[in-house]
Chain A
Amino acid sequence: MEPLLRMSLIRKKFPGVQALDDAGLEVLPGEIHALLGENGAGKSTLIKILAGAQQPDSGTIEFGGERVVMVSPHDAQRRGIATIYQEFTLAPNMTIAENVFIGREPGAGFFVDWGKMASETRSITKRLGLQLQPMAIVRDLSVAEQQMVEIARALSMKSRLIVMDEPTSALSSAEVEKLFRIARELKAHGLSIIFVTHRLEEVMQICDRYTVLRDGRLVGSGAIADITIDGIIRLMVGREVKALFAHQQREITGDVVLRVEGLNRRGNAQDQNATVLADVGFEVRRGEILGVAGLVGAGRTEMARAVFGADAFDSGHVIIEGRQIHIRSPKDAIHHGIGLVPEDRKQQALFLALAVRMNLSMAAHRQILRWGVFIDETAERAMVEEFRQKLNIRMASPEQLIASLSGGNQQKVTLARWLALRPKVLIVDEPTRGIDIGAKVEVHNLLFEMAQTGIAVIAISSELPEILAVSDRIITMREGTVTGQIKREDATEEILMSMMTLTVKNTERNHGNID
């Protein structure tokens, strides 16, 4: 079969980095194609070139049998290539219909034909099997629904190829199923889809063929039916990863360090009566890793932020080593020995304009002060060197901008920021999000080492294999409440999934008898 898309010998250089080095990609008509590779392998650059957002230094692109040069995103869309990025490009304050037809509103001259726009939007969303009101405001939609609006927009443009960058990373498993159903539907209609993803289980489930990039090169391509997950991982990392997600069973005998009782919080930015946390309680011991599992929106991050003082809560107790403490800000929490590695590294943890050295020491200035006001840079460099060795942080120099490190090394610097404080409790929220497989294993090992030194670790993760790999004990959350706890050795993905999706029987909770 003649491929719909053939990119060959694509090269692209950024200052100091050869992002793509003879990369290639072939997509057949009517297939779902997985574009795989570790972070920094060049996937994003390749799809940006395909979307017309960046120009290759050399190489050719053939689409629908003819040689093309995409000069702009608009040009690529016109030719039938739609790209849905991880960060959506919707206008949040406009309606679904306006977003679907943005820039191409139907109507005569200056005026917009709202009726036509709404009815066409409705027919497209119906085709997707969705029940979305064309006049609903995009801001009020869930992430999954916004993604559907993006897909509807791609369809309205008569796209022949839809590129989706990490489409499932923010979705619950039910929503993922729905997305896959729609993807298969589109495939049946002859459209091709490129999935860029880290989730290999999903690749095996939905994709027909795969392409793996490593260090900007094409290292493998073929049919999914002919390869295993381990085979793909080997291609991605270039060698065997034996230790991948191996669990180490340990006996936990330490005292309880942190106990949380009856944590309640109502109201979020959208809805001031929403139940965010309802009677959350748990405890964690010295040297223990407590896994927190739950679907997106289950309240895991909210629980972590409440304990850390980042968000206020209405009632509840946080008890450290038997003493109830009052936490009104992260500063208080840090003072009592609690640390938090937040879920969104770039937005919540990193100072992108500062060097690695400044990023690493940010929470521990007290330890490197001279005369109470000056930062002792010699001591600071020694601190950075200590953690560079301990955590195997790969960097050229402590004066390097943090932005120039890979995601895995950035995450290690964030971990080091807290380890420098010798915390009693460290909460890690999605500790391996957006980092490549090799670095994931390293971060897991660091969590084990931290636990071995007596830190009580709370690990929040949306990836069940990760939860099962790192935890000694697991609690599950749903709708802001803890739905159960289980020892690691008794847990499987299936058991956890059912605990996470348990219906909360007590519906009274939503009618105001919290306290």
Chain B
Amino acid sequence: METLTEHSHSGAQPRKRPDIFGFLARFAPLVFLIVLMAGFASFEPRFLTPLNLFNILRQVSIYGLLAVGMTFVILTAGIDLSIGSLVAFAGLAAAAVSKGGLSNRFNVGAGEEAASYGWYLAALAAIGVGVVGGFLQGFAITRLKVPPFVVTLGGMSAWRGAALLFAAGGPISGFEPNFVWIGQGRIFDQVPVPVVIFLAFAILAHVVLRYTRYGRQIYAVGGNPEAARLSGLNVRAVTTSVYVIMGFFAGLGAFVLDARLNSAEAVAGTGYELTVIASVVIGGTSLFGGVGTIFGTVIGTILIGVLLNGLVLMNVSSYVQQIIIGIIIVLAVAFDTFAKSRRRVG
């Protein structure tokens, strides 16, 4: 056995040379973000004012919360198309609770004179709806063995239907001031509250994925489910859990959205899934599973926000914006596929 230690040519090939491609793959979103911001700033000086930058962050914070949840799902090689509809349904639930229950939900007027169960119960209602919705989808995926794409496509329709049924045609608006502050207030008159919520949960999610056993299991299940099972991991439980987490963030996002608009309606959240998936994928999370970070997702979210904001400032129509988002998704996935083939060869 001793003589074999000198057996050098079958050993590892240490790769000391800086891997430019690997560096790019990791920091491309950040570099792209900086270039994009510099570009917009040169076209439109207003772009770089603190007011506008905080506005961008506030605009993206709800997408950002959803993208954090979506990162968990996509890391397991899953997808959730239902989040826009789930946001609408959870948002209506929170709104109804805030207004003092189902029967009072269309009362006009806000504040002390209207009945209310308080913002925290509203938050609980939204998150509860999200978590239960997410669990049902996770259950269908792991127990009924229906592919995530199909389950959540079904969810997309079902939750929207539930929202329309629940809203019975009208928006629910006018919440108590504490509730509204969560969406419209600023801490120290500067930092919008939704931005604080977004970044706080992003940090929490980063810690979970990076430092906990559960986070490690998510990467394992996404990277190679069979190897994960043969290593003693409970693949079904892990897979179900990411849809529950996605549901939690959908509920939280719905609650913040209600607060920001001081209103909830059944058509809220339409098309969110696309923007959110684009943010996650641009941030470097692989649709094939097992690769990605929350840091990347945060950058990806801001990148999309900056892009849309810049296009608005440059008077580009919202229709064109949709076209651009579509193209970006395809390009980001093309890049990911290329990176995956590189990983194999290396």
* Interface residues of A, Cβ cutoff 8 Å to B: 14-17, 38-40, 214-215, 237-238, 243, 308, 310, 329-331, 333-335, 340, 342, 347-354, 358, 362-363, 365, 369, 373-375, 377, 392, 394-397, 400-401, 403-406, 408-409, 417, 436, 438-439, 441-442, 445
Closest to B15 in A: A16
A417 touches B231 (CB 8 A): yes
Known: A353-B343, A405-B12, A406-B12. A348 touches B216 (CB 8 A): no
Q: Which of B4, B213, B224, B343 contacts A392 (CB 8 A)?
A: B4
A436 touches B10 (CB 8 A): yes
Which residues 227-244 of B sit at the A interface, judged by CB distance below 8 A?
Answer: 227-234
Q: CA–CA, A448 to B232, complex, Å?
A: 25
B10 touches A438 (CB 8 A): yes
B220 interface contact, C-beta 8 A: yes
- The winner among B1, B19, B229 for most chain A CB atoms within 10 A is B1
In the complex, how many angstroms separate the beta carbon of B339 from the nearest chain A beta carbon?
A: 10
Bitwise interface map of B from 132 to 148 toward A, beta carbon under 8 Å scored 1, else 0: 00000000000000000
B231 touches A330 (CB 8 A): yes
Q: CA–CA, A395 to B10, complex, Å?
A: 11
B226 touches A16 (CB 8 A): no
Residues of A within 8 A of B9 (CB): 38, 40, 214-215, 238
B343 touches A358 (CB 8 A): no
Residues of B within 8 A of A40 (CB): 9-10
Q: CA–CA, A310 to B226, complex, Å?
A: 9
Interchain residue pairs A-B with the least CB separation, the first 8: A396-B14, A394-B11, A16-B15, A334-B232, A351-B223, A395-B12, A362-B231, A363-B231
B17 touches A16 (CB 8 A): yes
Known: A404-B15, A406-B10, A441-B4. A330 touches B227 (CB 8 A): no
B50 interface contact, C-beta 8 A: no
Residues of B within 8 A of A14 (CB): 345-346
B21 interface contact, C-beta 8 A: yes
Jot down 12 A-B pairs with beta carbons below 8 A, ordered by A: A16-B15, A335-B232, A351-B220, A351-B227, A353-B223, A362-B228, A373-B213, A404-B12, A406-B11, A438-B7, A445-B1, A445-B4
Q: CA–CA, A293 to B21, complex, Å?
A: 46
B291 interface contact, C-beta 8 A: yes
Question: Interface size bucket, B side?
Answer: 35 or more
A347 touches B226 (CB 8 A): yes
Q: CA–CA, A363 to B21, complex, Å?
A: 32
- The winner among B11, B228, B344 for most chain A CB atoms within 10 A is B11
Q: CA–CA, A301 to B145, complex, Å?
A: 26
Residues of A within 8 A of B7 (CB): 237, 438-439, 442
B212 interface contact, C-beta 8 A: yes
Residues of B within 8 A of A310 (CB): 229-230
B211 interface contact, C-beta 8 A: yes
A365 touches B10 (CB 8 A): no
- The winner among A38, A215, A352, A377 for most chain B CB atoms within 10 A is A352
B21 touches A409 (CB 8 A): no
Residues of A within 8 A of B15 (CB): 15-16, 396, 400, 404
- The winner among A39, A243, A353, A445 for most chain B CB atoms within 10 A is A353
- The winner among A15, A243, A369 for most chain B CB atoms within 10 A is A15
Q: CA–CA, A443 to B155, complex, Å?
A: 50
In the complex, how many angstroms separate the beta carbon of B220 from the nearest chain A beta carbon?
A: 6
In the complex, how many angstroms separate the beta carbon of B170 from the nearest chain A beta carbon?
A: 45
B212 touches A374 (CB 8 A): yes
Q: CA–CA, A214 to B10, complex, Å?
A: 10
B1 touches A394 (CB 8 A): no
B213 touches A330 (CB 8 A): no
A374 touches B5 (CB 8 A): no
Q: CA–CA, A310 to B228, complex, Å?
A: 11
B214 interface contact, C-beta 8 A: yes
B219 interface contact, C-beta 8 A: yes
Residues of B within 8 A of A408 (CB): 10
B213 touches A374 (CB 8 A): yes
Known: A310-B229, A353-B290. A403 touches B346 (CB 8 A): yes
Residues of B within 8 A of A374 (CB): 211-213
B211 touches A351 (CB 8 A): no
Q: CA–CA, A14 to B346, complex, Å?
A: 7
In the complex, how many angstroms separate the beta carbon of B237 from the nearest chain A beta carbon?
A: 10
Known: A442-B1, A442-B4. A38 touches B216 (CB 8 A): no
Q: CA–CA, A289 to B212, complex, Å?
A: 37
B229 touches A352 (CB 8 A): no
Q: CA–CA, A238 to B344, complex, Å?
A: 28
Residues of A within 8 A of B3 (CB): 243
A331 touches B223 (CB 8 A): no
B49 interface contact, C-beta 8 A: no
B214 touches A403 (CB 8 A): no
Closest to B291 in A: A353
Known: A351-B223, A354-B219, A403-B343. A363 touches B232 (CB 8 A): yes
B317 interface contact, C-beta 8 A: no
Which residues 7-27 of B sit at the A interface, judged by CB distance below 8 A?
Answer: 7, 9-17, 19, 21
Q: CA–CA, A167 to B213, complex, Å?
A: 42
Residues of A within 8 A of B1 (CB): 243, 392, 442, 445
A348 touches B226 (CB 8 A): yes
In the complex, how many angstroms separate the beta carbon of B16 from the nearest chain A beta carbon?
A: 8
B290 touches A351 (CB 8 A): yes
Residues of B within 8 A of A348 (CB): 224, 226-227, 230
A16 touches B13 (CB 8 A): yes
Q: Which of A330, A353, A369, A396 contacts B232 (CB 8 A)?
A: A330
In the complex, how many angstroms separate the beta carbon of B222 from the nearest chain A beta carbon?
A: 8
A365 touches B230 (CB 8 A): no
In the complex, how many angstroms separate the beta carbon of B185 from the nearest chain A beta carbon?
A: 33
Q: CA–CA, A215 to B5, complex, Å?
A: 18
In the complex, how many angstroms separate the beta carbon of B176 from the nearest chain A beta carbon?
A: 36
Q: CA–CA, A349 to B225, complex, Å?
A: 10
Known: A310-B229, A350-B227. A369 touches B21 (CB 8 A): no
Known: A374-B212, A375-B213. A409 touches B219 (CB 8 A): no
